Amino acid sequence: MRSVRLRPTSLRAMALATAAFALVGCERIPGRPGPGPEVVRPNEVLDFPTLFKANCVGCHGENGRNGAAISLSNPVYLAVAGEDNLKEIIGNGVSGKLMPPFAKSAGGMLTDQQINVLAHGMMQAWSKPDLFVGKNIPPYKAAQLGDSTRGQQAFGTFCARCHGAAGEGAPGDVKSEAGKVGSIVDGSYLALISDQDLRSIVIAGRPDEGMPDWRTDGAQAMTDQQISDIIAWLASKRTANPGQPYPTQP
Q: Which residues bind ligand HEC (CB under 6 A)?
A: 4, 6, 13, 17, 55-56, 58-60, 69-70, 72, 81, 86, 89-90, 94, 97-100, 102, 118, 158-159, 161-163, 174, 176, 178, 181-182, 184, 193-194, 196-198, 200-202, 206, 209-212, 230
Nearer to ligand HEC, 130 or 217 (CB): 217
* Cβ(98)–Cβ(69) below 8 Å: yes
Nearer Cβ to ligand HEC (102/152): 102
Closest distance to ligand HEC from the beta carbon of 25 (Å): 15
Phi/psi at 192 (5° precision): -85, -15
Contact 219, 212 (CB under 8 A): no
Instruction: Name the minimum Å distance from CB 126 to ligand HEC.
Output: 11
d(CA 105, CA 189): 30
Residue number, 28 or 180, with CB nearest to ligand HEC: 180
Cα separation of 164 and 241, whole Å?
24
Cβ nearer to ligand HEC, comparing 14 with 133:
14
- Cα–Cα dist 169/70, whole Å: 19
Q: How far is the CB of 35 from ligand HEC (least distance, A)?
A: 30
Q: Cα angle at 134 between 129 and 137, to 5 degrees? A: 80
**Least distance from C-beta 158 to ligand HEC, angstroms?**
4
Nearer to ligand HEC by Cβ, of 30 and 227: the residue is: 227
- What's the closest the beta carbon of residue 250 comes to ligand HEC, in angstroms? 31
CA distances from 221 to 20, 157, 201, 202, 203 (A): 38, 11, 15, 11, 10
Q: Which is nearer to ligand HEC, 76 or 193 (CB)?
A: 193
Measure CA of the first residue to CA of the last residue in the chain; give whole Å: 45
Kindly provide the b/e burial profile for residues 207-246, where b requires at least 16 CB atoms within 10 angstroms of the residue's own CB.
Answer: bbeebbbbeeeeeebbebbbbbbbbbbbeebeeeeeeeee
Residue with Cβ nearer ligand HEC (34 or 182): 182
We find the least distance from the C-beta atom of residue 30 to ligand HEC, in angstroms, to be 28
Nearest Cα neighbor of 99 from 193, 188, 21, 190 is 193
CB of 52 to ligand HEC, least distance (A): 6
